[in-house]
Chains A and B, each alone.
Chain A
Amino acid sequence: IEMECRVLSVQSHVVRGYVGNKSATFPLQVLGFEVDSINSVQFSNHTGYAHWKGQVLTADELNVLYEGIKLNNVNHYDYVLTGYTRDTSFLETVVDIVQELKRLNPKLVYVCDPVMGDQGSMYVPENILPVYRDKVVAVADILTPNQFEAELLTGRKISTEKDALEVMDLLHQMGPDMVVLTSTDLISPHGDQFLVALGSQKMVRADGTTSTQKIRMEMPKVDAVFVGTGDLFAAMLLAWTHHHPKDLKAACEKTVSVLHHVIKRTITYANKMAGPGKRPSPAQLELRMVQSKKDIEYPAIVVEAIVL
């Protein structure tokens, strides 16, 4: 049976490599999703290389593209997906678009990666935070913050798992029924070679009351800096929650497993390219996306999510 599911993805485009729309589009297409993509920038490559060059899309230009879609009466989407954005007016325009698309399709699911920073420091302009906190998160349905971003959005620090669960509940109250804390500093029972990720899904029971399913995953740390993995994560979470809408455990196991396979293939290749004892370069560390097609289509499950 052919799936008929259309995603509007508003993210960066890089000529070379896999971040933003380059990271999200191919895996979603391979899984049968129709992906309409608005490129928020066009750069030669991601900004972790020694050099990068390109052009950015303004909020007005974004509006113009959306207008074209709207004038043809094809502004009907099942999902919206967004990630790394640096410009507040661009982000506000995204919110306007999401709200209009939701009026046309009340079932639309907005998957939002609220990219702001990591490990205690912001890598976007500070004035992006209030836009996410006060406008974006309110219209998001699925949110994929890391620990730092979750703390920023809620104003609460996370030192224990209990803190993390409370922060996810606070985020539910702000909007999204599904929150995944993609990485944290929490101590893993498996030791310091593992990092802890958590998820929470709010559901409405038949009798109208709400319940949440909360899960924890331990993921092996990798000794390398990857770019684009967060974008791949959000895209694959979109795909697997689509297939497992009421089963956060299954959706997360598939998503995290895909990431594992892609990262493993990538690090092996990167180390081979760099040679023994040499640290791979950003160019060598580009995700082996095309080579991972089978793992994207049929991810072998390599992590078990514990239901809390």
Chain B
Amino acid sequence: MECRVLSIQSHVVRGYVGNKSASFPLQVLGFEVDSINSVQFSNHTGYSHWKGQVLTADELHVLYEGIKLNNVHHYDYVLTGYTRDTSFLEMVVDIVQELKRANPNLVYVCDPVLGDHGSMYVPENLHPVYKNKVVPVADIITPNQFEAELLTGKNISTEKDAVEVMDLLHKMGPDTVVITSSDLPSRLGDRFLVSLGSQRTLMPDGTKSTQRVRMEIPKVDAVFVGTGDLFAAMLLAWTHHYPNDLKTACEKTFSVMHHVIKRTISYAHDLAGPGRKPSPPQLELRMVQSKADIEDPAIVMEATVLNL
């Protein structure tokens, strides 16, 4: 396989978020990963302490210039996630646009990280940048329910709302949208959360067809960090192998997540001891230990195709 990804995300010395979460799994699946580290921190910000340095928009540009001067700015994918700085994000958009001119088939996978459960955890001024500049150049986006609502200005109370929101997001740019988690009630009960996906394809006769899927995901009683980054990376990988089959791509992606999370939670509980809540260091994803599951994920859930 000859497939090159430019991933612009955080680097942590210890643990698995951002580029640390995305690179190893993609490399294990045979992707060449060029990574620009938007920050270098000791660890993610859920620990008691964290320290480090951030990359400015200018420094990002300088790194990209180096790649361009060598005429190696040819990528099949761009992948981005958590960003806190509007000028940095705008520089990313400029880079994506230039890379798309160099390769019109480039696929930009964007996790529009803005917040969750009703509140933003990035500066508010990122919202218009995502809405007006980033999402229009994205090909695959992975918002959670809150982010999907923010980007479209529409609330999601029912599955019908969610489908309409995904259609609105398609209109804004991306042909593939996955709402990674929602508050919608699951048919399997309240130990499950609902995820939805939508993929728009151009038919030979020029019309557009949309495949929509729903997945019921078992809830886990722990806070994981880096799972969204792993999700976006694995969705990149599995849509690469199944470009017209969102159902299969999602089944593989969510299954990888399941295996990694299950291994992580077992280990975390072992370390914490009976009756104790595991700490952030103990809850770091068991990424390296999950290599076999990443390479060849056993499918543990079935995506339902919605007939609308």
| A residues apposed to B, CB below 8 Å | 2, 13, 15-16, 26, 29-30, 32-39, 42-45, 49-55, 57, 61, 64-69, 71-72, 74, 283, 289-291, 293
20 chain-A/chain-B pairs, Cβ below 8 angstroms: A15-B35, A15-B66, A26-B23, A29-B291, A32-B288, A34-B288, A38-B13, A38-B40, A45-B72, A52-B70, A54-B66, A65-B13, A65-B40, A65-B51, A65-B52, A72-B43, A74-B14, A74-B43, A283-B70, A290-B30
Expressed in whole angstroms, the Cα–Cα distance for A138 and B11 within the complex equals 31
| B residues apposed to A, CB below 8 Å | 11, 13-14, 23-24, 27-28, 30-37, 40-43, 47-53, 55, 59, 62-67, 69-70, 72, 281, 287-289, 291
Q: Are B51 and A68 in contact (CB under 8 A)?
A: yes
Q: Are A29 and B24 in contact (CB under 8 A)?
A: yes
Chain B residues with CB under 8 Å of A45's CB are 66-67, 70, 72
Chain A residues with CB under 8 Å of B291's CB are 29-30, 32
Q: Are A36 and B67 in contact (CB under 8 A)?
A: no
Chain A residue with minimal CB distance to B40?
A: A39
Q: Which of A2, A15, A71 contacts B36 (CB 8 A)?
A: A15
Chain A residues with CB under 8 Å of B23's CB are 26
Report if A54-B63 is in contact (Cβ < 8 Å); known contacts: A68-B43, A290-B27. Answer: yes
Q: Are A53 and B65 in contact (CB under 8 A)?
A: yes
Expressed in whole angstroms, the Cα–Cα distance for A253 and B47 within the complex equals 42
Q: Are A291 and B30 in contact (CB under 8 A)?
A: yes
Report if A16-B51 is in contact (Cβ < 8 Å); known contacts: A26-B24, A68-B13. Answer: no
Chain B residues with CB under 8 Å of A68's CB are 13, 41-43, 49-52
Expressed in whole angstroms, the Cα–Cα distance for A65 and B11 within the complex equals 12
The tally of CB-CB contacts under 8 A between chains A and B is 126
How many Å from the CB of B259 to the closest CB on chain A? 14
Q: Which of A49, A69, A283, A293 contacts B13 (CB 8 A)?
A: A69
Most chain-A CB neighbours within 10 Å: which of B40, B42, B64, B65? B42
Q: Are B281 and A74 in contact (CB under 8 A)?
A: yes
How many Å from the CB of A19 to the closest CB on chain B? 13
Expressed in whole angstroms, the Cα–Cα distance for A53 and B63 within the complex equals 6
How many Å from the CB of A243 to the closest CB on chain B? 16
How many Å from the CB of B4 to the closest CB on chain A? 9
Q: Are B63 and A15 in contact (CB under 8 A)?
A: yes
Top 7 nearest A-B pairs by Cβ distance? A44-B66, A68-B42, A68-B51, A53-B66, A71-B49, A51-B69, A16-B34
Chain B residues with CB under 8 Å of A65's CB are 13, 40-42, 51-53
Chain A residues with CB under 8 Å of B31's CB are 290
How many Å from the CB of B90 to the closest CB on chain A? 19
Expressed in whole angstroms, the Cα–Cα distance for A2 and B67 within the complex equals 39
Q: Are A67 and B51 in contact (CB under 8 A)?
A: yes
Expressed in whole angstroms, the Cα–Cα distance for A2 and B32 within the complex equals 27
Most chain-B CB neighbours within 10 Å: which of A26, A51, A53? A53
Q: Are B13 and A53 in contact (CB under 8 A)?
A: no
Expressed in whole angstroms, the Cα–Cα distance for A57 and B54 within the complex equals 11
Expressed in whole angstroms, the Cα–Cα distance for A50 and B14 within the complex equals 33
Q: Which of A32, A42, A50, A72 contacts B42 (CB 8 A)?
A: A72
Given contacts A43-B63, A51-B70, 19 further A-B contacts (CB under 8 A): A15-B67, A30-B291, A36-B13, A36-B14, A39-B40, A44-B66, A55-B59, A57-B53, A65-B41, A65-B42, A69-B14, A72-B43, A72-B47, A72-B50, A283-B72, A289-B27, A290-B30, A290-B31, A293-B30
Q: Which of B28, B67, B289 contacts A44 (CB 8 A)?
A: B67
Expressed in whole angstroms, the Cα–Cα distance for A290 and B13 within the complex equals 21
Report if A51-B13 is in contact (Cβ < 8 Å); known contacts: A15-B34, A72-B47, A74-B43. Answer: no
Q: Are B30 and A72 in contact (CB under 8 A)?
A: no
Chain B residues with CB under 8 Å of A37's CB are 11, 13
Q: Are B51 and A39 in contact (CB under 8 A)?
A: no
Q: Are A64 and B281 in contact (CB under 8 A)?
A: no
Chain A residues with CB under 8 Å of B43's CB are 68-69, 72, 74
Report if A71-B24 is in contact (Cβ < 8 Å); known contacts: A16-B72, A53-B66. Answer: no
Chain A residue with minimal CB distance to B16?
A: A34
How many Å from the CB of B295 to the closest CB on chain A? 9
How many Å from the CB of A81 to the closest CB on chain B? 13
Q: Which of B53, B65, B66 contacts A61 (CB 8 A)?
A: B53
Chain A residues with CB under 8 Å of B36's CB are 15, 42
How many Å from the CB of B33 to the closest CB on chain A? 8
Expressed in whole angstroms, the Cα–Cα distance for A49 and B49 within the complex equals 39
Chain B residue with minimal CB distance to A16?
A: B34
Q: Are B281 and A72 in contact (CB under 8 A)?
A: yes
Most chain-A CB neighbours within 10 Å: which of B13, B36, B52, B64? B13
Most chain-B CB neighbours within 10 Å: which of A38, A61, A64, A68? A68
Expressed in whole angstroms, the Cα–Cα distance for A33 and B289 within the complex equals 9
Chain B residues with CB under 8 Å of A42's CB are 36-37, 40, 55, 63
Chain B residue with minimal CB distance to A282?
A: B70
Expressed in whole angstroms, the Cα–Cα distance for A13 and B43 within the complex equals 17
Chain B residue with minimal CB distance to A26?
A: B27
Chain B residue with minimal CB distance to A65?
A: B42
Chain A residue with minimal CB distance to B42?
A: A68
Expressed in whole angstroms, the Cα–Cα distance for A217 and B128 within the complex equals 62
Q: Are B72 and A43 in contact (CB under 8 A)?
A: no
Expressed in whole angstroms, the Cα–Cα distance for A88 and B257 within the complex equals 43
Chain B residues with CB under 8 Å of A39's CB are 11, 37, 40
Chain A residue with minimal CB distance to B288?
A: A29
Chain B residues with CB under 8 Å of A293's CB are 28, 30
